[in-house]
Amino acid sequence: RAVEERKKAKEKDELREREKKVEKMTRAEREAEWRDTLAALRGEKKAEEVPADHAGEAETQKAAEGTHDTAADAVQSADKGEKSSTEPVASSSVEKKEKAHDAEEKSAFFVSGFGSAGLRYLENNMPAGSTFLPLGTVSANTPLPTRYDAALVGGQPVGVAIVYGDFSIGATGTVTAVDGKKVLAFGHSFMHKGNVNYFMTDANVVGTIAGQSNGVKIANIGSVIGRINQDRETGVAGILGTFPTAVPIRIHVKDDVLGTEETFGAQIAYDEDFLPVLSGSIAYAAMSRVSDSLGSNTARIRFAIRTNAVDSGVFERRNMYYSAADVGQVAVTELLQAMNMIVTNPQEESDILDLDVDVELTGGRQTAVLVSAVPDKLVVKPGDTVTFKTKIRPYRKPEETLSIPYRVPKAQPAGTLNLDIRGGGFVPVNPLALLAQAGLEIPDDEEKFKSTAEKLDDLAAQGQNNEIIIAPGAAPAPSSEKEMKKRMRAAAKASARAAEREEPKRVTLLGDPKKKDEREKFYAPYVIENVIHATLKVEE
């Protein structure tokens, strides 16, 4: 019994010493312990989950064990002559932890609704250093109403969410203080972004993980109860009963092979830094939940963004994709591109009212290659219509023949007209390169002066992967100075002909948005994978 009492007294002394050390710990040292705790959450370190009412005892025991191990290590190091005093040891420890602080993870998020593939996509596309821990939260099967009259007191759990619904991303913490409707919580930053616009939710604690200096509560976010508007070094703050600006997203996914389809919904807090990647991540996660395999698959996608960034009020885009690796990641690229254009509008802040996405997964490889394109006449005049008998060879299917009309541009100069017959996904030769080959002066780059609406119009006008496009192509490089001069004369005639049809102040050779007759589109049920070439002789 006396031995036990001495042992307990020794443990108390060690615990008091440990508590003094904890009080003197730097920020870097405390954050290092938080990283250890997060590692335990991910399963990288062993940690025992204890009930909330016994968390204090577990922390005390951990602290005592940590003190004992530290003391033993110090004695062993002294015996080996590794350190001459305790000061270098402490200094080295601080330096190591300071280095760890430099590479610290920006934030830890609890997520739900994301499968393993969706979680990997989220980790790869969110800011480097973000940690995502899958936990159960709200879903369409268990809807939770918004609470307009919620109340909080100090010590209660509270949540912060940037996505809420069938897919959720957020974090939980503890209320520090409440002043009427104003709430201060966490005691540390969430993402350290200053003025923010996030969901404040209630939370349900399901367990704790003990740490040497502090424990972590494991909790699920619940109903939306307010808005978080401050994310500072010392904590987050918000107001109960007011709610953040959010972008509703609806995703409908249909898998023709499995015969299944499902519709998902979520609310994304409006944050220009995260809105594009979060919308793409949610669309991809929805695909991965409905389909059991996105590899060697074909997808048709349509998305519509209601926004004031375009005059019509709605930006809509359709396309078709095939990928042997993961068609889902490829299918959301244009969605990410369009959302990024809108939120980074340099002219003004653009509103996004909602986002609607429809995806159809057809399974297998729905691709084809162009075999040949034979015109019904080889000699034409400007403005004539030529019909190309185009053969395509679908993947592991018999050849098919398509009749595609093409209208020769009215301003086309006499001579050889080089045409590209290509899939819409193939980027044609830049018109500026055609001017350079003809020996003409290249105009200034106007891309950086385009408005967001013009950039979105360009994206909408881009060819789709399942389109067959016939358009003027690049001519072979001139083989002699005589040929170059000939091309320059032909281009000058074309310019004069265009000047007769256009306003005097608006004369362009190439890249004119009004010249819609320079290319023809034909929709096919396959992703077109190549480009072929044809030539016509144009007479005056």
Distance CA 225, CA 246 (A): 14
Judgement on whether residues 389 and 348 belong to the same structural domain of the protein: no
Judgement on whether residues 219 and 262 belong to the same structural domain of the protein: no
Task: Give the pLDDT score at 14.
Answer: 74
For residue 54, the SS3 value is helix
Of 195, 212, 246, the position where a domain reaches its end is 246
- Specify the long-range contacts of residues 75-83, CB closer than 8 Å, at least 24 apart: none
Total domain count, the chain:
4
Judgement on whether residues 293 and 349 belong to the same structural domain of the protein: yes
Judgement on whether residues 127 and 157 belong to the same structural domain of the protein: yes
Neighbouring-strand partners of residue 357: 251, 303
Judgement on whether residues 253 and 209 belong to the same structural domain of the protein: no
Judgement on whether residues 92 and 126 belong to the same structural domain of the protein: no
Judgement on whether residues 207 and 257 belong to the same structural domain of the protein: no
Judgement on whether residues 492 and 531 belong to the same structural domain of the protein: yes
Task: Give the pLDDT score at 58.
Answer: 44
pLDDT digits (tens, 9 = 90+) for 398-439: 999 999 999 999 888 888 899 999 999 886 655 555 444 444
**Residue 413 belongs to domain spanning:** 368-538
Of 49, 75, 102, the position where a domain reaches its end is 102
Of 102, 127, 150, the position where a domain reaches its end is 102
**Of 47, 109, 532, 118, residue with least CA distance to 288:** 118
Judgement on whether residues 240 and 253 belong to the same structural domain of the protein: no
Three-class HEC string of 458-493: HHHHCCCCCEEEEEECCCCCCCCHHHHHHHHHHHHH
pLDDT digits (tens, 9 = 90+) for 338-390: 999 999 999 999 999 999 999 999 989 999 999 999 999 999 999 999 999 99
Answer yes or no: is pLDDT of 66 > 80. Answer: no
Least confident of 93-97, 218-222, 240-244: 93-97
Judgement on whether residues 265 and 230 belong to the same structural domain of the protein: no
Answer yes or no: is pLDDT of 81 > 60. Answer: no
Judgement on whether residues 418 and 389 belong to the same structural domain of the protein: yes
Judgement on whether residues 406 and 530 belong to the same structural domain of the protein: yes
CATH code, domain carrying 299: 3.10.20
